[in-house]
Chain A
Amino acid sequence: MSPRRPPLPPAPPGVSRRIVLSFLVSAAGAVGFAVTYGLGGNTRWEGVCLAVAFAGLATGLATWGRRLVPAGGYVEEHEGFTPPPVEQALTAEELTAPDSPIRRRGLLGALALALSALGVAALFPLRSLLPWDRPRPDEALKTTPWRPGVRLVTAEGRPLRPEDVPEETVVGVFPEGAVDAGDAPAFAVRLRPERFTRPPAGGHLDGLVVYSLLCTHAGCPVRLYLHGTGRVLCPCHQSSFDLFAGARPVAGPAARPLPGLPVEVGPDGFLRARGDFTAPPGAGFWSWP
């Protein structure tokens, strides 16, 4: 037990007062928070009160730590990180003693075999993360709910006639019965056929073309239609596609055209698909055809 060290001289009187004041402010902030909460809550005032409470605490503690206790002027030794060679040798000797398991190479090999087998076996159940009854990635990525005869509907599920797509307006279309599917969103737009510089991949109905809505760069919906230019723009990375030229990418990081959707008018007068997209929609993948 060390004897008591002489007490520090009393602090300059202002310091203690400032610390007490800080803590009082902090307490006031805490009370303010509780009252604000009790009165029905207000995000702004709750935040301000808590900030004041913690700021008061911080100022008080910081002043205390700076002014009332010794700061600086101490030195602590490193216990030396150069390991004594003798000690290292002893440790090595201990580990490799004649009866040490490390020396039984054959047994160790068998043990390693067993452990690696267990390790590999333990990986198998990870395959269940993708349930076995669901399609494998390549198949799922290459197909969408669009099939011959599936009608084009709006986001609300209303089927569309060709007249419902006015000129120079983009209409979002979805496969009937699968409006929420992640890979199916498409858009229909009516363009002047004489301005086509390349035939649309999915064909057109008197200028009406349907393309996948998903950007071929990273899969964002190309929602921005630049009026009059026949171009659509992706808001995520600014890829732009020219609808007059078969929706080929004209600027930005996308490298492939938007897949088209072949459509026809069904006997009921509504638009329907003649098949799936002309290519897998959205971002590319390794086995992209």
Chain B
Amino acid sequence: MIVDRFVRAVDDRLRLSPITRKALAKVFPDHWSFMLGEIALYSFVALILTGVYLTFFFDASSADRVYRGSYAPLDGSSTSAAYASTVRLSWDVRAGLLIRQTHHWAALVFVAAIVVHLIRVFFTGAFRKPRELNWFVGVTMLTLALANGFTGYSMPDDLVSGLGLRIIVSVVESIPLVGSWLVFLALGGEFPSDEMIPRLFISHVFLVPALLVALVSVHLAMIVRQKHTQFPGPGRTEHNVVGSRLWPSYTLRSLALFAWVLAVLFALGGLVQINPVWLYGPFSPAQATSPAQPDWYVAWGDGALRLFPPWEPRIGDYLVPAPFVPGVVVGGVTFLALYAWPFLERLRTHDRRRHHLLDRPRDHPVRMGVGVAALTFYAVLVVAAGDDIIARLLRIPVYDLLSVFRVLVLVLPLLTGALAFLLARALRRGDAARLGDLTRADLAAARGREPPPAAEEPEQPARDRTGERIELWPEGEVWRWRYQDPDAGVTLVGNRAAPTEEEAVAAARLAYPGVDRVVVPGPPPAAPPGRVRTALRRGTDLVMGVSLLVAALRQRRGRRGPDGPA
């Protein structure tokens, strides 16, 4: 009873139990796609934990230092302190390489999880009112994640990171008017400057992570305040959330996911080599490696730089350098479009209602088409960033491949976008449940104008559906309620007990406006569905059931015995 006493002691002093009880009963929808953001969150936690460890060994300085350690090829050579300490960290600090590689993998997984989460939110329309603000916060976190990934990649001062930094510097320098000033202010002089690495370091370990922590908190606070969205289904309305509760179900499941993320990251960090800086050698402005590929999340920018034609227009006496359009404009337009999307979509649909029920991707063919086209565009860019490797593998000249990619990057998105648009329409107009079920008639129906809308889609379940009802009953001193729809075979229990009947009624009315309510005596016969019970029922064994009941009763009586009813 230590927990019991502890809870009482805390509550006596802080009076937290009303909030806590509500928080513990918070309902999360049961769908795998709601876990993607959590993967990003847990990778971020892993990044912070491993990153703090790395700061104890990394020396963020470009001062000369002689490396002495067990990596023989570099032993005794003089490099920057940043590079020497990174090699030391990898070769001479026990468990250092594991943590470093895990950190790098965690960064890759972090950005990947954010991107997949963003794709999910986009295609299901979860960004619509009232969640536009959280969409902005999310997009901002994506930009910060990319920025921090890049600064982290650049800090070890190895050859590949130096090349990457030089390219970014060139891209920023290409901005008309202010480009060179931005670079010189950021680096404290011409590339490569002595201030460069300390400044990358402080932004990588403090400025950007602090912003990210703040934004993650805002993101989560808004989710708690606005509650989760959910896919439509029986018993699910615009006014409720159906699923499992935070305590105990999601606490266990979410911790399990955290552990899974860590397990995968440590497996990758231990088994799959990443960024072996000792092989690349220290940065030198005159050295390069081939092939040179960046981390996956900047590959789209690299691909754009490769594909853009050699075009450097002059405006009067001034030059607009070649990296400006592929580097600055493509990146800028990408993020502007992401920020603006909720408004762009509203301009077209004139939809100002609040949405807590998600779209299926097919419900919105235009969004589907635009999204697929954009994804294709970036996918082609990412592949194009590996054109030298592909050319080597296929034994074809790299410039032939370049021409192919230049055409593909413009044509392929149009094709896939149109195809996605038509398929979404066919799915929406026909009655096929999945892509594989589409018939020729469905596809034919996808062409042509939108048929006149049959009727405004009901926002709530039909009120006259027989059998749909709310049952309330007293249980000791509190009230509980549940929703039942026998036709759909759905029984949903209110997530928490209400102290009075009025409050139970109020909660049920908010969740299911317009559904009839009845008060039933005592706990209803059927227990709330749970997998355990279903499993038990399935293996029905009368003796087993009776003995369980007896055991349960005895246990209950036994508990009541010594300390009386709680």
Q: Give A contacts to B, CB under 8 Å.
A: 1-4, 6-12, 37, 40-41, 43-48, 50-55, 57-62, 64-82, 126-127, 129-131, 134, 136-138, 140-141, 155, 172, 174, 180-185, 213-214, 217-224, 234-239, 249, 251-256, 282-288
Name B380-436 residues within 8 Å CB distance of A.
Answer: 387-388, 398-399, 402
Partner of A255, one of B311, B531, B552: B311
Chain A CB within 8 A of B361 CB: no
Partner of B94, one of A40, A174, A255: A40
Q: Which residues of A contact B510 (CB under 8 A)?
A: 77-80
The CA-CA distance from A155 to B475 in the complex, in Å, is 85
A-B contact pairs, 5 of them (CB 8 A): A2-B476, A4-B565, A9-B552, A61-B256, A74-B493
How many chain-B residues does the 8 Å CB contact rule pick out?
Answer: 132
Inter-chain pairs besides A62-B260, A138-B180, A283-B170, 18 sampled, C-beta below 8 Å: A2-B497, A4-B560, A55-B259, A60-B256, A69-B248, A70-B249, A71-B244, A74-B492, A75-B494, A75-B495, A77-B239, A80-B510, A127-B185, A129-B185, A185-B286, A220-B166, A235-B292, A235-B388
**Would you give the 0/1 interface string for B348-389, flagging 1 where the beta carbon is closer than 8 Å to chain A?**
000000101000000000000000000000000000000110
Contact status B95-A62, CB under 8 Å? no
Contact status A218-B271, CB under 8 Å? no
The stretch of B108-116, B145-153, B189-197 that contacts the partner chain: B189-197
Chain A CB within 8 A of B218 CB: no
- The answer to whether residues A76 and B322 also contact, given A4-B559, A9-B552, A236-B163 and a CB cut-off of 8 A, is no
Chain A CB within 8 A of B126 CB: no
Q: Which residues of B contact A141 (CB under 8 A)?
A: 173, 180, 190
| Interface residues of A, dominant DSSP | loop
Contact status B256-A65, CB under 8 Å? yes
The stretch of B205-213, B262-270, B330-338, B437-445 that contacts the partner chain: B262-270
Q: Which residues of B contact A59 (CB under 8 A)?
A: 256
Chain A CB within 8 A of B456 CB: no
Q: Which residues of B contact A47 (CB under 8 A)?
A: 98, 101-102, 266-271
The CA-CA distance from A59 to B552 in the complex, in Å, is 28
Partner of A76, one of B94, B312, B495, B533: B495
Chain A CB within 8 A of B287 CB: yes
**Would you give the 0/1 interface string for B169-194, flagging 1 where the beta carbon is closer than 8 Å to chain A?**
11101111101110111101111100
Contact status A3-B475, CB under 8 Å? yes
Smallest distance from the beta carbon of B76 to chain A beta carbons, Å? 16
Contact status B173-A283, CB under 8 Å? yes
Contact status A61-B255, CB under 8 Å? yes
Contact status A74-B242, CB under 8 Å? yes
- The answer to whether residues A286 and B306 also contact, given A51-B267, A251-B399 and a CB cut-off of 8 A, is no
Chain A CB within 8 A of B551 CB: yes
Smallest distance from the beta carbon of A163 to chain B beta carbons, Å? 22
Smallest distance from the beta carbon of B71 to chain A beta carbons, Å? 14
Q: Which residues of B contact A236 (CB under 8 A)?
A: 163, 167, 288, 292
Smallest distance from the beta carbon of A99 to chain B beta carbons, Å? 31
Smallest distance from the beta carbon of A279 to chain B beta carbons, Å? 11
Chain A CB within 8 A of B562 CB: no
The CA-CA distance from A239 to B305 in the complex, in Å, is 11
Partner of B259, one of A2, A57, A237, A251: A57
Contact status A182-B285, CB under 8 Å? yes
Contact status A249-B310, CB under 8 Å? yes
The CA-CA distance from A150 to B551 in the complex, in Å, is 96
The CA-CA distance from A155 to B288 in the complex, in Å, is 14
The 7 closest A-B pairs by CB, nearest first: A47-B270, A65-B252, A284-B321, A283-B170, A235-B290, A58-B259, A77-B511
The CA-CA distance from A74 to B492 in the complex, in Å, is 5
- The answer to whether residues A254 and B322 also contact, given A70-B528, A286-B180 and a CB cut-off of 8 A, is yes
Partner of A182, one of B171, B190, B306, B478: B190
Contact status B291-A46, CB under 8 Å? no
The CA-CA distance from A237 to B399 in the complex, in Å, is 11
The CA-CA distance from A242 to B290 in the complex, in Å, is 20
The CA-CA distance from A51 to B190 in the complex, in Å, is 44
Chain A CB within 8 A of B566 CB: yes
Name B303-339 residues within 8 Å CB distance of A.
Answer: 305-312, 317-323, 326
Residue of A nearest to B182 (CB): A137
- The answer to whether residues A74 and B495 also contact, given A68-B532, A81-B354, A220-B167 and a CB cut-off of 8 A, is yes
Contact status A73-B493, CB under 8 Å? yes
Contact status B288-A253, CB under 8 Å? no
Q: Which residues of B contact A82 (CB under 8 A)?
A: 354
Chain A CB within 8 A of B123 CB: no
